[in-house]
């Protein structure tokens, strides 16, 4: 084994490997449970027990790096390919949900609307499933077509990739004209692009809307990439952007049996200043609870963002057909609709919706991409009799599949 002297940072070709990081990343049976793979020695314990960790010896052979640490003499082995992908400064941000790791879009980028994947292909082909879920992860939106236009199917779709989040609206909710509506969504009125449930903490992260019937005229969906809108606001009005990232505003819902409140910034940033969430809903936003000296600043910022959101080039307007199931990131994509009239003959526009947490979608997507054919996918609850479920994970592929 080569002598490295005693170094706190090991330089290996173009890799810079701090000794404490290597000790923390060790995957041996003493550091991780051999059955579950879960850590037995976590980062805090490593930092507390081995603050003066150094590499005393190292050897590279057969595509692996073996190191011996001081002061405890622990020995660790790492695949060089793994180090090349995961060394400090190189690791892919697999859990990064910010604008930095996503594909921002306007209507020019999606002239035909969101990517579409046929339901039958989605169920039978892991490639098609990864295509659809990958579009939701990267673009924030996708449409499954030809999903049977039957009540309750939105839950079947949801359970193919995640756990249904039940709210005061139920496990699923109907979006249609109601005789005595308790919500504007249950009328034929136009709905400006918005995110759902901003008065919750946390907000539902993935939303599904399954079309059972269309309106005779009107009722077209309207979608806006909130990350693209926030990016534009940052460019055209940096002061307004900063205000909406720093000032927490109140949201509220008063229902017959439920009162929900939350305070949050309209635009949330991560530690490096990248947008991670947009929370925009004029119907639920309450008058700002800031001091009088900041009131003009906040109202000016709200007006500036509203003006950006109304830019025609930001919106796409797909008309959902019966069987189309829209799946989108509710922390990013704003959705709305054009106005429509009730059908005098009965029926009329009818969507069913539901919510799923984003970690379920991304976890399923990672499973599909992880190892060709090695993973097995099952829904979180049994689908109706006769509905097949994708079982074998393979690599993800093209942007559109049927």
Q: What percent of the chain has pLDDT over 90?
A: 71
Q: How far apart are CA 289 and CA 250, in angstroms?
A: 7
Phi, psi torsion values for 158, nearest 5 degrees? -60, -40
For the chain, which residues make up each domain, given as ranges? 2-86, 99-370
Tell me the average pLDDT across 339-357. 87
The pLDDT assigned to 91 comes to: 64
The pLDDT assigned to 184 comes to: 81
Look at 35-49, 103-117, 125-139, 354-368 and tell me which has the smallest mean pLDDT.
35-49
Look at 30-39, 128-137, 235-244, 255-264 and tell me which has the smallest mean pLDDT.
30-39
pLDDT at 337 over 70: yes
pLDDT at 381 over 70: no
Q: How far apart are CA 286 and CA 288, in angstroms?
A: 6
pLDDT at 37 over 90: no
The CATH number of 99-370, from 3.60.130.10, 3.30.920.30, 3.40.50.1980, 3.30.2130.10, is 3.60.130.10
User: What are 296-321's pLDDT values in tens digits?
Assistant: 999 999 999 999 999 999 999 999 99
Confidence of residue 95 (pLDDT cuts 50, 70, 90): low
- Of 36, 38, 76, give the one whose Cα is nearest residue 56: 76
Distances (CA, A) of 85 to 94, 223, 288: 12, 36, 46
Read off the pTM.
0.82
Tokens for 317? Answer: 């307007």
The pLDDT assigned to 347 comes to: 72
User: What are 359-371's pLDDT values in tens digits?
Assistant: 999 999 999 988 6
251 burial via Cβ count (<10 Å: 0-12, 13-18, 19+): buried
Q: What percent of the chain has pLDDT over 70?
A: 89
pLDDT at 343 over 90: no
pLDDT at 399 over 90: no
Tell me the average pLDDT across 317-344. 94
Look at 241-245, 274-278, 379-383 and tell me which has the smallest mean pLDDT.
379-383
User: What are 106-123's pLDDT values in tens digits?
Assistant: 999 999 999 999 999 999
User: What are 137-190's pLDDT values in tens digits?
Assistant: 999 999 999 999 999 999 999 999 999 999 999 999 999 988 888 778 888 888
pLDDT at 375 over 90: no
The pLDDT assigned to 289 comes to: 95
The pLDDT assigned to 368 comes to: 94
Q: Give the chain's mean pLDDT.
A: 88
The pLDDT assigned to 149 comes to: 97
The pLDDT assigned to 373 comes to: 39
2-86: CATH topology: NE0471 N-terminal domain-like (3.30.2020)
The pLDDT assigned to 1 comes to: 59
Task: Choose between 249 and 397: higher pLDDT.
Answer: 249
Tell me the average pLDDT across 38-53. 81
The pLDDT assigned to 390 comes to: 35
Task: Choose between 220 and 44: higher pLDDT.
Answer: 220
């Amino acid at each position: 084994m080569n002598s490295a002297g005693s170094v706190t940072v090991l330089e290996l070709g173009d890799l810079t490997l701090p000794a404490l990081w290597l000790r923390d990343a060790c995957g041996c049976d003493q550091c991780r449970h051999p059955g579950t793979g879960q850590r037995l020695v976590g980062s805090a314990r490593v930092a507390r027990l081995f603050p003066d960790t150094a590499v005393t010896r190292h050897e590279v052979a057969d595509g692996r790096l073996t190191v011996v640490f001081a002061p405890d003499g622990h020995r660790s082995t790492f695949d060089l390919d793994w180090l090349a992908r995961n060394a400090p400064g190189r690791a892919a941000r697999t859990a990064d949900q910010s604008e930095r790791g996503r594909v921002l879009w306007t209507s020019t980028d999606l002239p035909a609307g969101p990517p579409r994947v046929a339901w039958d292909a989605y169920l039978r082909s892991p490639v098609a499933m990864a295509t659809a879920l990958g579009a939701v992860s990267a673009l924030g939106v996708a449409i499954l077509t030809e999903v049977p236009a039957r009540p309750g199917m939105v839950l079947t779709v949801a359970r193919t990739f995640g756990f249904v989040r039940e709210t005061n609206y139920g496990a699923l909710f109907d979006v249609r004209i109601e005789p005595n509506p308790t919500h504007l969504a249950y009328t034929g009125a136009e709905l400006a692009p918005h995110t759902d449930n901003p008065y919750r903490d946390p907000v539902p992260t993935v939303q599904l809307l399954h079309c059972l019937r269309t309106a005779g005229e009107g009722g077209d969906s309207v979608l806006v990439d909130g990350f693209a809108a926030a990016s534009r606001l940052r460019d055209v009005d940096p002061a307004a952007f900063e205000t909406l990232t720093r000032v927490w505003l109140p949201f509220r819902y008063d229902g017959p049996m439920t009162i929900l409140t939350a305070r949050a910034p309209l635009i949330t940033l991560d530690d490096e200043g990248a947008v991670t969430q947009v929370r925009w809903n004029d119907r639920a936003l309450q008058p700002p609870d800031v001091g009088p000296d900041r009131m003009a600043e906040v109202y000016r910022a709200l007006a500036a963002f509203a003006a950006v959101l109304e830019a025609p080039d930001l919106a796409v307007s797909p008309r959902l057909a019966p069987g189309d199931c829209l799946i989108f990131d509710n922390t990013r994509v704003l959705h709305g609709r054009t106005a429509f009239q009730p059908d005098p003959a009965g029926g009329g526009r009818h969507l069913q919706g539901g919510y799923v947490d984003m970690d379920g979608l991304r976890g399923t997507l990672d499973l599909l991409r992880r190892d060709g054919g090695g993973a097995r996918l099952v829904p979180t609850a049994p689908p109706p009799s006769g509905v097949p479920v994708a079982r074998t994970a393979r690599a993800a592929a093209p942007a559109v599949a049927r």
